Structure 1
Amino acid sequence: MRLRIDCAYDGTDFSGWAVQPTRRTVQGTLEAALATALRQPDVRVTVAGRTDAGVHARGQVAHLDVGRDVVEASAGRSTDPPLEVLARRVDGILPPDLRVRRVTEAPTGFDARFSAVWRRYAYRIADDRAVVDPLTRGHVLAWGRPLDLDAMNEASAALVGLRDFAAFCKQREGATTVRTLLDLVWHRDAAGVAVGTVRADAFCHNMVRALVGGLIAVGEGRRPTTWPAEVMAGRRRDAGVRVVHAHGLTLEEVGYPDDAELAAQADRARARREAIDA
């Protein structure tokens, strides 16, 4: 059976999602807990989107293939549904900065990575001393100058759509930097914190943090609202684009199509990935 695992984590003390030798990672920690709970020596999960070191998640999604008999045996003598028992046991093993929200049997055709149609992130900035909260310092960027969100929204609108984001990505050999940016908007929450919501079919390395860095320059008045689009049109990294700190960024949600479309979406996404890698 394929399990869908919805999880959340504080990325502060993790070296990102992906397993790295000698480093504490979200994937490594989660897989170790699942291996213990399932009494299996080797457990491997597939994730919707790898997050960088220091980035947080409220709505991360992963999947795991495991024998139904293994799941049922792991529940022991409990009369509760086996997947509820598994989620409870995994949470009891995990450290406080990583939580499993739910474990469910995935519908036919589900792939946490390839079935996803979009990922939504939020970047939070406290640009006023009156709203800088030491209790949220690990999740909100404190910025010393006020930001004009109207100007940032005007600049953001020109970046939405199917674009080449090479100017805002840390490029990797053989990997495309073309993405479809679905939304990029700024608002203030009830506390007055500036929140940038970014939604795309996928993201390349450092893309969100570089976009935010470019838009901050507009919000401060150091650059015109047309500048981020001009940088993007150049298709190469610009020294004026600052990649902001990771701790202000949170993966909020991963979107999937209706169950009947999961397999088709996975096939389309996998075909695109294979073409890129080729």
Structure 2
Amino acid sequence: MSDEVEPGFVRVRLDLSYDGRDFSGWAKQRDGQRTVQGEIEDALRTVTRSKETYELTVAGRTDSGVHARGQVAHVDLPEGLWAEHREKLLRRLAGRLPHDVRVWKVEEAPAGFNARFAAIWRRYAYRVTDHPGGVDPLLRGHVLWHDWTLDVDAMNTAAQALLGEHDFAAYCKRREGATTIRTLQELRWERRPDGIIEATVKADAFCHNMVRSLVGAMLFVGDGHRPTDWPGKVLAAGVRDSAVHVVRPHGLTLEEVGYPADELLAARSVQARNKRTLPGAAGSAGCC
């Protein structure tokens, strides 16, 4: 599968952010629910006065209620349309988009760029507070309240067994034809000076519900309901454990997406589409 742009078109990269609370996720829905993709595509069509809707490809499809600070997408636009609107497109989008989604940068993408397949990592943050009084009202849409005191050191100890390349089937909602093998590059917790406990979760890619399931398992360790070796045992078992709760989405934010040097973009896109297996095991087909 090639990432060659069709003749007569230009691939454009968009860097954007959104507050996910009033969106039914990123991806357009058949039932017409409000989505981030739908809002941006509608705005693009309006400000360029196009009859056609040009479809966006995104680095990470976020679920309903999940936020993004560093989301990346691309869209292929006709060369003439891009030449006509490129200088004023950003400001016009700002005037057309609703206040809970913003596009911060619009630029021609380098050769081989694909917002989804060329990415080499995604970094999420999950924010939670164990303050007995609850969540600051000004942060209620972005921070989860956990009604038990949390031991950050215990959660960091438990996280060590999850790092590296594994089959994360125990922490993912399976999708037909998609692999659950991922490389978890970073999983750490920190209590900030303001008392908010922040998880940094970084991987080459994530499967459905993976971050929120990992956080759910960590919270059970942090509040003493499970020992520090429990999340690792769940991972090794390879099946969903009913005790692993998928925490609520509002505490989760996609913070940043990483890409290789321009000359490596095309090769990365090809690699990301390859069938992925663990050494000595037959993995399922599918992309990242």
Specify if TM > 0.5. yes
* 2:205 counterpart (202, 206, 209): 202
Q: Does 1:163 align with 2:173?
A: no
TM-score, reference length from structure 2: 0.90
Matches within 5 A, 1:30-69: 30-40=40-50, 41-69=52-80
In the alignment, residue 190 of structure 2 is paired with which amino acid?
Answer: H
Shift of 1:130: 5.5
Shift of 1:68: 2.4
- How far apart, in 2, do the equivalents of 1:99 and 1:277 lie? 31
- How far apart, in 2, do the equivalents of 1:263 and 1:277 lie? 18
Q: Does 1:115 align with 2:118?
A: yes
| Alpha-carbon displacement from aligned partner over 1:56-109 (angstroms, at most 9, x marks no partner) | 0000000011122102223xxxxxxx34x1011011100000000110111111
SS across alignment from 2:162: coil
* 1:268 counterpart (259, 267, 271): 271
Shift of 1:37: 1.4
Shift of 1:244: 0.4
Shift of 1:117: 0.1
| Alpha-carbon displacement from aligned partner over 1:160-194 (angstroms, at most 9, x marks no partner) | 00001111111112211110000000002231100
SS across alignment from 1:103: strand
Structure 1 unpaired stretches of 5+? 75-81
In structure 1, the partner of 2:36 is 26
Shift of 1:131: 7.0
- How far apart, in 2, do the equivalents of 1:212 and 1:202 lie? 16
RMSD: 1.4
Shift of 1:43: 1.2
SS across alignment from 2:190: strand
| Alpha-carbon displacement from aligned partner over 1:86-144 (angstroms, at most 9, x marks no partner) | 01101110000000011011111111001000000000001113672110100000111
Structure 2 unpaired stretches of 5+? 1-9, 277-283
More helix, by proportion = 1
In the alignment, residue 72 of structure 1 is paired with which amino acid?
Answer: A
Matches within 5 A, 1:1-278: 1-21=10-30, 22-40=32-50, 41-74=52-85, 82-83=86-87, 85-129=88-132, 132-272=135-275, 276-277=285-286
> Contact between 1:131 and 1:191, CA under 8 Å: does it hold in 2?
no
Q: How many pairs are equivalent?
A: 269
Percent same amino acid among aligned pairs?
Answer: 57
